[in-house]
Structure 1
Amino acid sequence: MDLIFRNVRIDDAQPLVDVAVQAGKIAEIAQHIASTAGREIQGEGKVLVAGFVEGHLHLEKANVMQRKANRSGTLKEAIAVTAELKPTLTREDIRERSIQVLRALVQAGTTHVRAHAEFDPAQGFTGLEVVLELREAFREVIDIQVVAFPQEGILKLPGMPAMMAQAMEMGADVVGGIPYNDLSAQEHIDFVFDLAKRYGKDIDLHQDFADDAEHMTIEYVARRTIAEGYQGRVCVGHLTSLAAVSPARQAQVIALLREADISVMCLPATDLHLGARGDSHNVRRTLTPVRALRDGGVTVCLATNNIRNAFTPYGTGDLLHIAQLAIPACHLGGADDQATVLSMLTTNPAKALGLKHHGLAVGNDADLVLVDCRAVADVILDLPTRLMVLKRGKVVATAEHRRSVAF
């Protein structure tokens, strides 16, 4: 074997086990592995988990909040501030800040990230080009799925439909969209589906990000998903409007989402910050209804979205910080609820992103994190030190070295 973890905890209900890695894969999991390895890690009862999966992140506009502030804290001003900044962002600037974020992700145990890279006629393709380059440069350290994301809309910008197609030709992995920020939400959705079908790509939408449900279009997305046979290939982020509908309608929408097999990314850091800015008292949480979605059979995930910019003026890139924010905000603090949170950082987003070989099982990629705690249930509570991070069997970060060894 190439590497063996000895006496690690992977399940609180089971004894300690050894986990062997060979040729980038998990080769064996047993209470005692007779084989030896070139490198053996004494776990001493510490927890080994599958690598975290960051399902929704904007790399190229991270760490810019000092350049122009969002004074009102509203979504409208966040979009305006970012639109003003984007033409000033150079290739070198985007690359430097994106690498800062990727380094933080890897050190925190994230082994996959879906990055929404935006472009428009004013900015050009600079951001998308840099993120595509980083996908190739760091593929041995972290897998990056690149979403072609039209933040400023598609239909309302001259030349943007052609730019969307060009982004796919350039190598984007996923077709993105933002129906609520365009002339017609339904026409925007139709364009995204048509483009995705043309290139055989999955879809990821910024969907129904509002305090109320007046203009909600998730039902149209779900029905189009079913009609096109795109079940399991559509993901939506935000979906905060779903919390504003009646319980009866919410149940109907959730049943439709389950039928369409649409995954939902809850983005608590951004949505709590921007949401309910017009409320004078008894301020709403403005989060997608995580527990109802989970209990209704929908794949629901927790993700970061933005780091230190006009949309989210804080953040570290550590998904465990997002989990700790979501636990009280989404009422996930009960014992039974807590038991479901870790999967919202690992197996659920892996399913949402279509990852075929992720998870702590023999034959899967050895994307693993050894953490400094002794119960799997405590991982989301302790914010434990990430002692070692493996990407396909290669050690890419350790607690002793605050920088990933691969950067």
Structure 2
Amino acid sequence: MDILIRKVRIKDGEELQDVAIEGGKIVAIAPHIEGTAHREIDADGRVLIPGLVDSHIHLDKALIADRLPNKSGTLMEAIKVTGQLKPTFTKEDVEDRARRALTMLIKNGTTHIRTHSEFDPSQGFTGFETVMKLKQEFKDIIDIQVTAFPQEGIFKAPGTEEMMYQAMEMGADVVGGIPYNDSPAMDHIDLVFEIAKKYNKPIDFHQDFKDDAEGITIEYICDKTIKEGFQGRVSVGHLTSLGALPKEKLEPIIKKMKEAEISVMSLPATDLHLGGRKDEYNVRRALTPVRTLRDGGVNMCIATNNIRNAFTPYGNGDLIQIAMLAVPTAHLGGADDLPTVLPMITTNPAKALGLKDYGLEVGKKADMVLLDTKVVKDAIIDIPDRLFVIKNGKITVETEKIVKFNF
């Protein structure tokens, strides 16, 4: 065996397990595994989880918060200042920042990401080509799905429609969209589906990102998804507008989302920062209704979105910290709620991304993280150190620490 991890906690209340890895795969999980390995790790009851999946992030515009700050903290200014900066990006600049962001993610146990990579006539494919290059370079360390993302809109930025097709020809994995930043929004959605059908690719929308529910298009997307037979292949990020809907209007939408098998990526670090900016009192949390969506059978995920830019001027690539942020702000700290949070950064986004070889099961790829905690239900609230990160059956990160108490 290549690696043998002894005495790990996979589920609370169950016997500790040994996990054997060989040839990049999990070859055995049992209370005791006979034999030796090139590397043996004594977990001593610590929690083993599948690799973290960050299902919505922007590598190409990470780490630019100090260049042109978003002083109002609003979405509109974030879009404006980023649009001003993008033409100044060089491939070397994007590569340096994306590498640093990837290092943050990898160090913190993320083994899979979906990144939205932008292009438009003003900046060309500078960022997109760079991210595609890094996808190949980092393929043994982190799996990267690249979404062709028209941040500035398609119809209101002439030339972008042609670039969408070019991006797919260049190898994009996912067709992106942003209906709320284009006009007509329905035509934008229709074109995204048309491209996805042509290239047989999944879809990921930045969706209904407002404090109010005026002009939302999620229902149209659900209807389109079902009509085109794309159930289970459409994801939406943000979706904060649903938080402004009363129960009698929200429930039919969630029912339709479940039927269309839409996955939702809540982005609490960004949405809390940008949302509710015009509220003078009783300021809204401005999050999508995570618990209600979850209880309605929608595949609910939590993701990073941005790291230190105009949309999110903080972050360190730690998805568990993002999930911890969601615990109080989305009311996920209850005894029955807390166990549902870890799947929102592991198995749920893996489903959204269509990962077929993921999970702590024999025969699956050996992508996993050993946490410095001994209770699975505390895996989020402890914000534990990632002691070992294993990707494709190889140790990519190993953390050593010494804590001394002088009392």
Q: Which TM bucket (shorter chain)?
A: over 0.9
Aligned to 2:220: 220
Counterpart Cα distance in 1 of 2:159 and 2:108: 39
Secondary structure, counterpart of 1:14 in structure 2? coil
Residues 235-260 of structure 1 show CA distances to partners (whole Å, capped at 9, x for unaligned) of: 00000011111201111010000000
Counterpart Cα distance in 2 of 1:326 and 1:246: 21
Aligned to 1:381: 381
| 1:190-229 equivalent positions in 2, closer than 5 A | 190-229=190-229
Counterpart Cα distance in 2 of 1:13 and 1:89: 52
Following superposition, the deviation at residue 398 of structure 1 comes to 1.0
Counterpart Cα distance in 2 of 1:158 and 1:77: 22
Counterpart Cα distance in 1 of 2:101 and 2:191: 31
Secondary structure, counterpart of 2:380 in structure 1? helix
Secondary structure, counterpart of 1:305 in structure 2? coil
Following superposition, the deviation at residue 137 of structure 1 comes to 0.3
Aligned to 2:186: 186
Q: Give the 4+ runs in structure 1 shifted more than 2 A.
A: none
Identity of aligned residues (%): 61
Secondary structure, counterpart of 2:297 in structure 1? coil
Following superposition, the deviation at residue 38 of structure 1 comes to 1.6
* Number of residue pairs matched by the alignment: 401
Counterpart Cα distance in 2 of 1:120 and 1:374: 48
Aligned to 1:405: none
Counterpart Cα distance in 1 of 2:58 and 2:318: 14
Unaligned runs of 5+ in 2: 402-407
| 1:170-181 equivalent positions in 2, closer than 5 A | 170-181=170-181
Alignment pair present for 1:231 and 2:231: yes
Following superposition, the deviation at residue 379 of structure 1 comes to 1.0
Residues 122-162 of structure 1 show CA distances to partners (whole Å, capped at 9, x for unaligned) of: 01000000000000000000000000000000011111110
TM-score under structure 2 length normalisation: 0.98
Aligned to 2:299: 299
Aligned to 2:28: 28
Residues 70-116 of structure 1 show CA distances to partners (whole Å, capped at 9, x for unaligned) of: 01000000000000000011111100110101011111000000000
Counterpart Cα distance in 1 of 2:7 and 2:14: 12
Residues 176-221 of structure 1 show CA distances to partners (whole Å, capped at 9, x for unaligned) of: 0000001111000000000000000000000000000111000000
Counterpart Cα distance in 2 of 1:377 and 1:363: 25
Secondary structure, counterpart of 2:381 in structure 1? helix
Residues 2-58 of structure 1 show CA distances to partners (whole Å, capped at 9, x for unaligned) of: 111001111112011100011111111000011321211111111111000000000
Aligned to 1:404: none
Secondary structure, counterpart of 1:396 in structure 2? strand
Aligned to 2:252: 252
Secondary structure, counterpart of 1:381 in structure 2? coil
The amino acid across from 2:259 in the alignment is E
Secondary structure, counterpart of 2:336 in structure 1? helix
Following superposition, the deviation at residue 400 of structure 1 comes to 3.7
Unaligned runs of 5+ in 1: 402-407
The amino acid across from 1:331 in the alignment is H
Aligned to 2:4: 4
Aligned to 1:84: 84
Counterpart Cα distance in 1 of 2:264 and 2:376: 24
Counterpart Cα distance in 1 of 2:380 and 2:142: 22
| 1:307-346 equivalent positions in 2, closer than 5 A | 307-346=307-346
Counterpart Cα distance in 1 of 2:332 and 2:183: 37
Aligned to 1:74: 74
Counterpart Cα distance in 2 of 1:15 and 1:130: 46
Secondary structure, counterpart of 2:236 in structure 1? strand
Alignment pair present for 1:362 and 2:343: no
Following superposition, the deviation at residue 367 of structure 1 comes to 0.2
The amino acid across from 1:173 in the alignment is D
Aligned to 2:98: 98
Secondary structure, counterpart of 1:332 in structure 2? coil
Counterpart Cα distance in 1 of 2:18 and 2:302: 29
Counterpart Cα distance in 2 of 1:392 and 1:294: 31
TM-score under structure 1 length normalisation: 0.98
Secondary structure, counterpart of 1:363 in structure 2? coil
The amino acid across from 2:326 in the alignment is A
Aligned to 1:166: 166
Aligned to 1:58: 58
Counterpart Cα distance in 1 of 2:378 and 2:157: 48
Following superposition, the deviation at residue 270 of structure 1 comes to 0.3
Aligned to 1:147: 147
Counterpart Cα distance in 2 of 1:128 and 1:158: 18
Counterpart Cα distance in 2 of 1:104 and 1:25: 25
Residues 327-385 of structure 1 show CA distances to partners (whole Å, capped at 9, x for unaligned) of: 00000010110010000000000000000011111111100101111111111011111
Counterpart Cα distance in 1 of 2:16 and 2:273: 41
Aligned to 1:114: 114
Counterpart Cα distance in 1 of 2:240 and 2:83: 23
Counterpart Cα distance in 2 of 1:229 and 1:389: 37
Aligned to 2:404: none
Aligned to 2:405: none
The amino acid across from 1:356 in the alignment is K
